[in-house]
């Protein structure tokens, strides 16, 4: 009796230690959580910069916007905004699918489709920024 009780305590300790280290059943929960937070933090100044930039260019014509986007700093910040936005969106939707889709094949299909859609939309947005930046020169 005492031996099995001791074995149960060891199993519980290992499980708790694994949780503390962020090594749950998926072995990546802590990393996923940290990346979500990093992208969220990066999006705050990028979004503020973007909103201010849009408001200062209200009513501007296409050549003025192309010149603005053609600036290396603005183009780099736009690309960073795109990358962070779509990566953050993919990470957040993945958590939703993992929490609410209980059939493993459907969940994996939803996650894969989300990753593909975010990648495709991010690439389209990046090409649009690059094309706009090239038009400026």
Full-model pTM: 0.77
What does the chain come to in residues?
Answer: 137
What's the pLDDT at 36?
95
**59 phi, psi to nearest 5 deg:** 85, 0
Q: pLDDT value at position 29?
A: 76
Q: What is the pLDDT of residue 132?
A: 86
What does the DSSP 8-state code read for residue 125? H
What does residue 58 show for φ and ψ, rounded to 5 degrees? -60, 130
For domain 27-135, the question of CATH label 1.10.10.10 is answered with no
Report the Cα 52 to chain-centroid distance in Å. 23
> What average pLDDT does range 16-20 have in this prediction?
57
Report angle CA 134, 136, 137 to the nearest 5 degrees: 75
Question: How does pLDDT run across 74-109, given as a tens digit for each residue?
Answer: 999 999 999 999 999 999 999 999 999 999 999 999
**pLDDT tier, 73 (very low <50, low <70, confident <90, very high otherwise):** very high
For the chain, the structural domain boundaries read 27-135
CA Rg, the chain, in Å?
Answer: 22
What rounded mean pLDDT belongs to the chain? 87
Whole-number pLDDT of residue 21: 56
- More confident call, 60 vs 9: 60
pLDDT-derived band of residue 22, with 50, 70 and 90 as boundaries? low
Angstrom CA distances, 73 to 59, 60, 65, 97, stand at 22, 19, 14, 36
């Amino acid at each position: 009796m005492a031996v099995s009780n001791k074995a149960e305590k060891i199993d519980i300790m290992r499980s708790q230690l694994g949780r503390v280290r962020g090594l749950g059943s998926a072995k990546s929960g802590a990393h996923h959580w940290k990346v979500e937070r990093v992208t969220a933090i990066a999006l705050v100044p990028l979004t503020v910069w973007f909103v201010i930039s849009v408001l200062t260019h209200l009513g501007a014509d296409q050549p003025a916007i192309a010149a603005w986007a053609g600036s290396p700093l603005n183009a780099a910040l736009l690309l960073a905004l795109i990358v962070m936005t779509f990566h953050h969106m993919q990470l957040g939707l993945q958590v939703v699918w993992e929490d609410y889709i209980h059939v493993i094949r459907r969940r994996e299909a939803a996650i894969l489709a989300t990753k593909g859609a975010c990648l495709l939309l991010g690439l389209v947005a990046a090409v649009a920024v690059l094309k706009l930046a090239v038009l400026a020169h």
